[in-house]
Structure 1
């Protein structure tokens, strides 16, 4: 186990802190206020938040307005198109982690998971409670929420004929690897979707961390410029959130629009990535 799993209390506190800061960013909360909310001294809160999230609380709050996203989109350049030209999309890609991507065949997908065993479990991460679902071919689901029963029902609905087995230790180990900044282990993903959905999810993988694209740009990259709504639906059905970065898809105006696991969680994800990108650029 990594230190992330070993110190689950700190992860739960940091998830609470991110939720608080995301909900109150317009009030520009002081460090002391956020620290008190999670029961820590300002000194320890600053240190633990920066260690676990990778950016300071101030930097995180500073990127929650998404003004940077609108500025990038207003330039008119398609980040996605540039990334695709550079060959970043495809069966595998390095972004936050090394990912090995395999897609279920259309025939297997049509079976609704019949004959498939899915292990699942819950663990805390920066964005709250996470659910991870795994098959022998790799991670097939990653989602976030507050209610275990609702989160599991969401995953079961995707593969109604699969057999689900609870395996919290196995899931927690995978969640730890995903959010451990020092981890460089190759993580296999097993995508379960229609051929069109898989194409959209592969396009999402081409959007670099800290950058953004639009539903329209994704549709154009797939040579289907009129398929914005279909692209939006496929983005919403992404089964492996965060790793397949559907949070990086915005409306044409820079609006957050919807997010399957909550718009405020999407805002937090974008803020963390943008703040980290700024740190690298400095």
Structure 2
């Protein structure tokens, strides 16, 4: 059944049986037969032809999300069972700004795959996390930076945006009340420079990197703050051009591992990469 669903998804992605067969390294006839078998099993037509492409029929649209989930679960199961079991501890350095957005899912999957490995989090600003990595204070590091350093992999590029509370007026005040990170926060100098170039006067409301006080100031309507778009909680809103705030640059989410990591650290790094790939956030670069 999983193989049939995998072929179904390949046809969806490729828009036809021929590209699906090539992606799955099988003959076109075999791919067509698998689609036919799946349709016979389900008692419905999954595709309709539009020109030279196959598009989803209504039944195929209903199947798509469940097929993706089942194939993903099957792949995770196979990966877990084939992966050797490790013991020990891995110290993962993560900045405050992305720990809530990306890390919980990674840790849950890694814990299921490697239940005998302890993961300790080193939560600091990206600059501090990289210092910890160089000094041996952590084994792996996720960072948010404007560039990717030596031996780093860029897993995702995301834009820094201004964030406020819905219906709030903090962005209208002069000077602008801003929640900024600590002096080591990589967002702080970027936001200050952008405000300076725009000629916008500002005052600091909160100058810590931990997100709880930053979020509290935003939620109370006391300040705006620069956050990565992917880390903005649903209860806040991204402020657009009408807020008269300067545009902010893109940042890269990077993964760093020192030479010769432990087997457990290598496996955790693979889980980190897989999490971004699964979410459609594939790695886009590697610096030697």
Q: TM-score per shorter chain, which class?
A: under 0.3
What TM-score comes out, normalization by structure 2 length?
0.27
What TM-score comes out, normalization by structure 1 length?
0.28
Larger Rg: 2
Say which structure, 1 or 2, has more relative contact order (CA 8 Å, 6+ apart).
1
